Amino acid sequence: MRIDIHVNPEFSSLTQFVELLPDNFDNTGEVIHLGRNQIRTVEINGEKLVIKYFKKITLFNRFIYGNLRKSKAKRSFENSVTLLKNGIGTPKPVGYIDTFSHLLLKKSFYVCLYTDYADIKNLLDLPLSEAKNGIRALALLSGKMHHSGIFHGDFNTSNVLFKVIDRNYDFCLIDNNRIKFKRFTLKSGAKNFKRMRLTVEQTAIIGSEYARMYGYNERFFVMKILWFRSLFVFRENSKVKFKRALHKILL
């Protein structure tokens, strides 16, 4: 069996813990999320950790990750390192481990430090008068990220966490395995908001602030965000309807 493991030198004392994850994960810590992936928290050597087990991977993808492409765990680690180097908040990466058998990815784990930052949905659920400063701060984060050539492939309200520190908003990105690095264009900047579930009023604030920072036409940029969001919602709804129809036919 082949193993690919890397531990952040800052957390070298946790190397053995990471090495044993493929065997010990099911009996480690507390489950905080159970779905396509399983997430657990545990405290080791005084550090509170989050462990993400990329559980449901198709046979095809197991072959791809085993031979042609970096695993989600490895990309999560490397992308998180890149975010921090660019001054963009994310839980500090501890390490990852992938195990392989017969050219297939068998198990894949990513470990990072725990963060007590809150889901940004808590901010967006506030009255607009209370949330607008936080939304403007999110625009600043987005602009900094995009103009650094960093585009989160799943940039939605579940993957952005926040905390108010000395009346300033600090943000933290999670689920970083789908980040893409590419040249910024006005289109790519607007399109990256397509997964964000924002009201029209919230979109107007974030789009106007983003455009103002870089000298773009505010109305035009807001309309581009709304356009890409509407296309995304239409396509997602169409997929759901198609799957339902196909399910009825097969039954």
Separation of first and last alpha carbons in the chain? 41
**pLDDT above 80: residue 247:** no
The two three-digit tokens of residue 45, written as one number: 């050597």
A 10 A CB-CB count for 214 gives: 13
Task: Of 68, 78, 75, 71, give the one whose Cα is nearest residue 106.
Answer: 71
Q: Report the C-alpha gap between 215 and 217 in whole angstroms.
A: 7
Average pLDDT score over residue span 54-72: 91
pLDDT at 237 over 70: yes
Residue 250: what pLDDT? 61
Q: How far apart, in whole angstroms, are the C-alpha atoms of residue 230 and residue 161?
A: 24
Query: Residue 78 and residue 82: Cα distance in Å, rounded?
Result: 6
Residue 97 has pLDDT above 90, yes or no: yes
**Residue 25: strand, helix, or coil:** helix
Cα-to-chain-centroid distance, residue 201: 24
Phi, psi of 13 (to 5 degrees): -65, -15
Predicted local distance difference test score (pLDDT) of residue 56? 84
Distances in Å between the Cα of 108 and the Cα atoms of 19, 37, 98, 173 are 11, 10, 4, 20
For the chain, which domains are there? 2-113 (3.30.200), 118-237 (1.10.510)
| Rounded distance between C-alpha atoms, residue 72 and residue 61, angstroms | 11
Q: Is the pLDDT of residue 24 over 80?
A: yes
Strand duo 38-44 + 47-53: pairing: antiparallel
**HEC-encoded secondary structure of 82-144:** HHHHCCCCCCCEEEEEEEEECCEEEEEEEEEECCCCEECHHHHCCCHHHHHHHHHHHHHHHHH
- Quick one: pLDDT at residue 199? 97
Residue 27 has pLDDT above 90, yes or no: yes
CA-based Rg of the chain, rounded to a whole angstrom? 20
Query: Average of pLDDT values for 138-167?
Result: 96
Q: Residue holding tokens 């997964």?
A: 195
**CA pair distance 146, 183, nearest whole angstrom:** 8
Q: What are the tokens at 242?
A: 């198609």
